[in-house]
Amino acid sequence: MQKQEDQDWDLVIKGRSSLFDLRLGELWNYRDLLVMFVKRDFVSFYKQTILGPLWFFIQPIFTTIVFSFVFGNLAGISTDGAPKYLFYLTGITSWAYFSDCLTKTSTVFKDNASIFGKVYFPRLIMPLSIVVSNLVRFGVQLSLLLCMMTYFYIFPMKGSSFHVTSALVLFPFLVILMALLGLGLGLIITAMTTKYRDLTFLVTFGVQLLMYATPVIYPLSYAREKGYATLVELNPMTGIIETFRYAFIGTGEFNLLSLGYSALITLLILVIGVIIFNKTEKNFVDTI
């Protein structure tokens, strides 16, 4: 009988020897599983809804209308000369992708405890599938933004204007930053929720509050006038959203230093998140 050590195994599962033993190469080997989870997330979320994917359009449209009325008309907050609907929609589109990645990733352990406890696969596949599946919604909302830009180009609003800038070449980089920042923060939070369940209730509320510390409903110039620019600029999403808005409608501040700060903080949070996630996944089933 052949001894076990002489046999050739397709897969050998071993415990991690250190915090930095991340085994990221396994993610490529399980890419088919990643695709399957992406399809599952999309189908399961909308299969019992009447309007289905139309909600991708309905949510940003109504949010943009409400923001335009409340912050643009009632509060009279400036949009730096850009059409109000375009100004708010650019902020909503970019913020929605980041916040979706964060909130859905932050409950990965709790939502998938039954799967994690039955079969082995790289646990990082699950949060990555969330980030990828959210790209579908982001793409639909981006198409809505492009349609609205076309409308205001043909029928310009009096007293407002916009233009596409060369910063648009940074668009893929901005999407990656939003995805990785949401992923990193979500990994940190989901690891902490295995012991502190209260964080689950605070995440959605906290993300909503964080939006007001980000130039989504107001330009950075407005925060500077009120004396809060320094505080707002500490938020890594500020540089991303300002660049995103500047690229598409020419409004906002394009600052390489601010964008570099956002990229540095994103990378730092992502590394910390992946390390904490991999440390927690070894025994989270016992505490979840």
Task: Tell me which of 16 and 275 has the higher pLDDT.
Answer: 275
What pLDDT shows up at residue 59?
A: 85
pLDDT given at position 1: 46
If pLDDT is split at 50, 70 and 90, which confidence band does 173 have?
very high
- pLDDT over 70 (residue 283): no
What pLDDT does 183 receive? Answer: 92
| Mean pLDDT of the residues in the chain | 82
Confidence of residue 284 (pLDDT cuts 50, 70, 90): low
Residue 276: per-residue pLDDT: 87
Gap between the Cα atoms of 5 and 1, Å rounded: 12
pLDDT in tens, 65-116: 999 999 988 888 888 888 999 999 999 999 999 999 998 888 877 776 667 6
Of 113-122, 128-137, 145-154, the range with the lowest mean pLDDT is 113-122
The 10s digit of each residue's pLDDT in 17-41 is 555 555 666 767 777 877 887 877 7
Which range has the worst mean pLDDT, 98-107, 157-166, 278-287? 278-287
- Compare 23 and 142 and report the one with higher pLDDT: 142
pLDDT in tens, 224-275: 888 888 889 999 999 999 999 999 999 888 889 999 999 999 999 999 998 8
Percent of the chain with pLDDT over 70: 80
**pLDDT band for position 62 (cuts 50, 70, 90):** very high
Q: What per-residue confidence (pLDDT) applies to 89?
A: 94
Residue-range domain boundaries for the chain: 21-37+53-287
